Structure 1
């Protein structure tokens, strides 16, 4: 899908459970996966923005790790390229019992891991039991982030878990059992952390042998040198000194083989350096080009791929350390003070949109009639006066040394918001820290007062956005210190448990209305389309609204 603009993807059909639910796309899987023969050959060199944390997707939570592991591993359930829609991957069909707590997956047959061992029902259960039985460092939220966010606790029983067990019915039929219904299952299985890995390789190279060392972790031989999946590319090497990761085509791939013979990731953290490397012909593409460069890149003959916005940039408000921020009128004054229309039109990429609530319109449960906060300096001043904070002073935090899909220029965004707040009579104290040098840690620990942050959805689900932000009261916004924090968390939990799709969407619409009028725990700012850019010789790249590109379809003309 090489084009400058893409149509908004259709909403993902939410799968309800009324009676026995069945979802079968076997024919689709066969038509898209079948077809053999080797690829055209060639090498694609991609400029990565950072180094992977390791190559075991279960122990990862960052996009740069997943960008690499996604090429080697596959999941039971996949995402149709270029959309947010479900499609079969290693499972060719699935169905649930009436209450959505037992899910039966029919698996693709004849699939092998890169080490030649079979992918079957036993392998699926080995993977889930491995995840569930993590101990020590392996069970820490810092490492098992996606498990703790989606499944909750582990086998030690310290916290409740969504996962109850896995049962082999026959060689290619497996049951996953849950402790309760959630609208996010089985969609959550599309996340990279839940990819299927070779049980033999994980045992041989001691995949669970991960240890905490100060503020970081020491990973296993498996995670560093022997990642083993079923995907179209196989791990070859990682030259840390030169920042180069090399994958090669899986010649025994069960589906359509990769067209490339090699896929190389060169780690180039600086965006300007990535652009220069592509202009010099050293790389074939890179992610997150500065929006200010898009036109010049296209004029130079490069292909700028604009992804559909599936994200949110927000001004976070932590109600822990500044008493004024606990007052609704103060939070509303902040919202009225910010000129989001000008922010979007002057700083954010073309086709960005002003955000009216905490997730984009393409996500189910979006409410069209929430309270809005148009730019109104006098209204902001009046609300501050009514709240008794006409002389309000706040810290405004922003990250450095980073470019995010939803936040292409943090310093410029900070500057615009600072100017707006000061126009409303608010004194702003700037605080900046490197993204990986304290910023995210301090924000997540509720140390920041006002802060810039955002989210790119993992899949089409309200719970993946606002459930992630406000589903617990011990979050970065410190809603646990608010009289309504428990109410919001309970409302989110209740909505996720509603089986009927229409009732569930109505519940989320009510939550979005309340969030923007009664609570306003954060201020939504914008939805922006991130881009990636490739050389004119590159064909077959399908841009993903989830920033989850797969490179097996890519070719590079000589």
Structure 2
């Protein structure tokens, strides 16, 4: 019995020892289970903590960009992307064209209006690591000034008049101070320099890339370029080194090209995209009736027009141009295709722009008057080409349908026409080169100034750039140059009103409509503020 007792005690001791080993093993963790994470010492709890979901916005638009080099483009689809990759010295207000700091934090203007001194933000870098400083600004200006006019035509159209450079020189006074000296006063200079085409690019990148820079853009903006799939999508991602703390809020933006309006709206409804522009006014009620969507109105600052190439028969005859103005039923176009979200255009700029001439009443719809003018002009009834835009634009949601309606108007007065179109970049290039007879196009103002409409679109200096109609009138030119240099706002406005009277008589094109462009988005798209210029930074947008 004594021997059995010792044996039992031994078994008990062995079991106790095994339990102690097991307990120690649990405290130290095993290879089968992860060790417990210690609670944070700041009083917060990790219970329910989840990894942040990437903020991705898919923006559906009507067409692809032409280039991602803002200095060489004029189209809104290009600026829609470049506005998020690059930055300008000055910014516009969130939904207006007031002047605010940008890459320049402060500025001074001399009393004679000839010297502009900009003090730059410090510590900013381009996406490739190049320092942003005064020398970078100087190199950008020199690039635009020294480049071929046909390549940098936006710069030349805004800062060159009568063969003279408005910007006489630009110098780096020190690392973060740059001084512009003008050859003559330019009243809208600050607004001009804030425009999207004059964003500052990395000198290192554009010097290395040459003509290919637009394929691999490098700016200082809130988003960095990632990928471009032609006629499909452009992807940009958050700039982790962005100089404004806490911005941007999105991680990725994908700009998808979906030319068909119905297909784009369907993509929004099915969740393929988050934001869509170029919404047909006829679809507004459908969007407003969908609790998962929001209808967004862009502040209006545009003109949609039928361009008539003034150097091509039959539109080299003013009487024929006037006849076309009488032939087009503009009110019917607005009623049919804008659903009340536009007003009939009279002058080549909207009435909200300072200097608008309200005394001009416009050409009424009068087919009989059109026929009389055609007979007086000796028009022989030759067929013309009528170009229809292949993509929806803010100033014209459906160019094809508008072209068809105008085709019927022209036929009614004896002008036969054939509707043709091209891929968007080709359309713009051929129209710019004066190859169209009549063409649909339009303009969204860049800075809210009359100069940006009348001079940019209809001055002889801008033929081959934004003056697609090849209209030239020496008296108009004198008035517009005088208006550019006039600092007194009242005197400037009077000069613009005189110019509009002459343009009305010459009828270089048919003003059609000033639209209120529509966009739509998911309810979860927050802080999206559409800008009247048609291009806005998505820096504050987030997905809820």
TM range (shorter): 0.7 to 0.9
CA distance in 2, matches of 1:469, 1:201: 32
Q: Call closer, same or farther: CA 1:454–1:237 in 2, change over 3 Å.
A: closer
Unaligned runs of 5+ in 1: 1-38, 211-218
| Contact in 1 for aligned 2:305/2:511 (Cα 8 Å) | yes
Aligned residue in 1 for 2:396: 407
Aligned-partner SS, 2:384: strand
2:66 aligned with 1:73, yes or no? no
Show the 5 A alignment for 1:352-501: 352-385=342-375, 387=376, 389=378, 392-393=381-382, 395-423=384-412, 425-436=413-424, 438-472=426-460, 474=463, 475-480=467-472, 485-501=473-489
Query: For 1:521, which of 493, 508, 512 is the aligned residue?
Result: 508
Shift of 1:68: 1.8
Aligned residue in 2 for 1:148: 156
Aligned residue in 1 for 2:333: 343
The CA RMSD measured in Å over matched residues stands at: 2.8
Aligned residue in 1 for 2:4: none
CA distance in 2, matches of 1:437, 1:45: 23
| Residue-by-residue CA offset, 1:44-73 (whole Å, 9 max, x unaligned) | 121243333443322333322222221121
CA distance in 2, matches of 1:553, 1:437: 30
Aligned residue in 2 for 1:172: 176
Aligned residue in 2 for 1:189: 193
Shift of 1:251: 4.4
Comparing 278-287 with 260-269, which one deviates more in the overlay?
A: 260-269
Q: Call closer, same or farther: CA 1:381–1:54 in 2, change over 3 Å.
A: closer
CA distance in 2, matches of 1:402, 1:240: 15
Query: For 2:145, which of 123, 132, 136 is the aligned residue?
Result: 132
- State TM-score, norm by structure 1: 0.80
Aligned-partner SS, 1:247: strand
Shift of 1:256: 4.6
Query: For 1:60, which of 68, 73, 78 is the aligned residue?
Result: 73
CA distance in 1, matches of 2:423, 2:298: 23
Shift of 1:548: 1.1
2:303 aligned with 1:312, yes or no? yes
CA distance in 1, matches of 2:222, 2:313: 52
| Residue-by-residue CA offset, 1:445-503 (whole Å, 9 max, x unaligned) | 333333322111111122211212221175543435xxxx2222232222222232211
| Contact in 1 for aligned 2:308/2:469 (Cα 8 Å) | yes
Shift of 1:545: 1.2
Aligned-partner SS, 2:456: helix
CA distance in 1, matches of 2:222, 2:362: 47
Shift of 1:347: 1.7
Shift of 1:359: 0.5
2:247 aligned with 1:257, yes or no? yes
Q: Call closer, same or farther: CA 1:447–1:109 in 2, change over 3 Å.
A: closer
Unaligned runs of 5+ in 2: 1-51
CA distance in 1, matches of 2:270, 2:414: 47
Aligned-partner SS, 1:419: helix
| Contact in 1 for aligned 2:288/2:295 (Cα 8 Å) | yes
| Contact in 1 for aligned 2:320/2:377 (Cα 8 Å) | no
- State TM-score, norm by structure 2: 0.82
Of the two, which has the highest radius of gyration? 2
Shift of 1:373: 1.9
Aligned residue in 1 for 2:312: 321
Query: For 1:112, which of 101, 109, 125 is the aligned residue?
Result: 125
| Contact in 2 for aligned 1:333/1:384 (Cα 8 Å) | yes
CA distance in 2, matches of 1:235, 1:384: 53
Q: Call closer, same or farther: CA 1:413–1:305 in 2, change over 3 Å.
A: same
CA distance in 1, matches of 2:468, 2:228: 35
Aligned-partner SS, 2:417: strand
Aligned residue in 2 for 1:94: 107
| Contact in 2 for aligned 1:351/1:529 (Cα 8 Å) | yes
Alignment: residue pair count: 488
Q: Call closer, same or farther: CA 1:435–1:502 in 2, change over 3 Å.
A: farther
